[in-house]
Structure 1
Amino acid sequence: MHLVKEITPEIIKDIAEMLDMGMICFYHKPTGTMDYYPDEMKNPGYDEEPLAEIIDKIDENYGEYQRFEGMSSRESFKVMEDFIAGINHIPTHNKFIDAISRKKPFANFNHLLQYHPGLREEWFKYKLARGIEYVKDQIG
């Protein structure tokens, strides 16, 4: 039986950030370290060769790791909707609602954020906070 190191808030934040970048994260319970590699579903066709050592290490010791996966697109969309619900300036709120109601809602949302630097900063903080909560929900 291996001792399990508690996942620190710093590691939880790192995991949330890596998941947001399309990675799958693996927390090594005995050492308290983290490994990650691209999520094939979010990064199709990535080159596994440079990551073979990490992938093999995780596969060979899978029981020692806690796996963390990113949000589904449905869950990410809900985070975006929740953020928009908090925009109090009605014309801006309506622009964002319209942006995510069309094809390519994520691209439209991110494009519109370029014109609202204050909201853009709020979005990054909000998205990270929600990502951290999502990671905490996965801790088993």
Structure 2
Amino acid sequence: MKRYIEQLIEDLEQVAKNPPSPVYINTPPHLDNQPETAELALVPFKPISEWTSIPQEAFPQITDLEGDQWGRVNEAIFKVFDSLRLTLVDAPQEIPPEILYEVLTTNWDHPVQYLPSSGMDLELCTGNPQTCPYGDYCDCGEEFDEYELPEKFAACINPIAQSIDASLICYLNPETLEMEQIPKLLMDDPREYQLITGFGLEDEEMKHEQWEECYVFEPLDSSESFKIMERFAESLDDEILQEELFYVLNHRKPFANFKAVIDNSEHRENWFYFKMNWLEDHVKSIIYSEIHKIPGDSDDDELPF
């Protein structure tokens, strides 16, 4: 991985030294004296990956890096931003380099304009703490109200949180509150699941497919799980354990080593409580977003704030 990271940094720096040619635009006569306005109005939006010819998939997962690698890749990315006249204007000052790396790389397909004359301010904060890529490091949630869900959902929150923590995809019928749990591996790779367990898709009822409406809750990906561990470490008053957790999180096999440290500490129960609270908030956010959809909009709608 070290050699790959070095090559990635070299590729980014090469892009920074050789920015794309300015987009040719046919300036209307009434904007002849306003080139920056014409540029802003006519230059198309394209993903950063398209402007740079470096695909988002080129960036390793946050957990694959260690030491100063996050910071070094970030520096190379900002060199690319400078060459594209992009200015990231809303990054929190105190955000750790590994979290900033995750924000930058997961938004690598974010559409931007290449404006050599005037430049472009890039804002990634969504204004909603549940979708903001900066997470707790952003102040966008300071005046954000907690979720207000119908009382009927109260009894569903914890069972769903436990299901996704157990690597199960949970389906919820919002009318009857019936739930169905299916192993994620079965949905992702039915053949492998059958080889391991002897059961296949044909052995599942798939009741949720018959429901008129269905809320879906999937297990967290590795970056989200990493974030929970990091937040827990930050919350500790035990400086010795905190330092040990930060160490394992920044080195190889962070998940296994984090578990080993926690299991041999006095904070094992605190960790489970912290993680479950986070998962329950995650479940609430999904239910909230489903309830507040505008009729006819797609599943990608943002929360209405």
Check whether TM > 0.5: yes
Report % sequence identity. 29
- Whether 1:126 aligns to 2:274 is yes
Preserved contact between residue 22 and residue 43 of structure 1 (Cα < 8 Å): no
For the structure 1 residues 38 and 100, does the alpha-carbon distance in structure 2 shift closer, same or farther, using more than 3 Å as the test? same
Higher RCO (C-alpha under 8 Å, 6+ residues apart): 1
Preserved contact between residue 35 and residue 54 of structure 1 (Cα < 8 Å): no
User: Any residues of structure 2 matched to 1:100-119 within 5 Å, and which?
Assistant: 100-116=249-265, 118-119=266-267
Using the TM superposition, give the Cα deviation of residue 7 of structure 1 relative to its aligned residue in structure 2, in angstroms: 4.8
The residue type paired with residue 171 of structure 2 is: F
Q: Is the radius of gyration larger for structure 1 or structure 2?
A: 2
Structure 2 residue corresponding to 1:46, chosen from 186, 193, 199:
193
Q: In the alignment, which residue of structure 1 is the partner of 2:245?
A: 96
Paired with 2:230 and 2:263, the residues of 1 have a C-alpha distance of: 18
Paired with 2:186 and 2:221, the residues of 1 have a C-alpha distance of: 10
Secondary structure of residue in 1 paired with 2:267: helix
Q: In the alignment, which residue of structure 2 is the partner of 1:136?
A: 284
The residue type paired with residue 106 of structure 1 is: F
- Whether 1:58 aligns to 2:205 is no
Using the TM superposition, give the Cα deviation of residue 29 of structure 1 relative to its aligned residue in structure 2, in angstroms: 2.3
- Whether 1:14 aligns to 2:138 is no
Secondary structure of residue in 2 paired with 1:78: helix
Structure 2 portions without partners, runs of 5+ = 1-149, 291-305
What do you get for the CA RMSD once the two structures are aligned?
A: 2.3
When normalised by structure 2's length, the TM-score is 0.40
- Whether 1:31 aligns to 2:181 is no
Using the TM superposition, give the Cα deviation of residue 17 of structure 1 relative to its aligned residue in structure 2, in angstroms: 0.3
Preserved contact between residue 37 and residue 51 of structure 1 (Cα < 8 Å): no
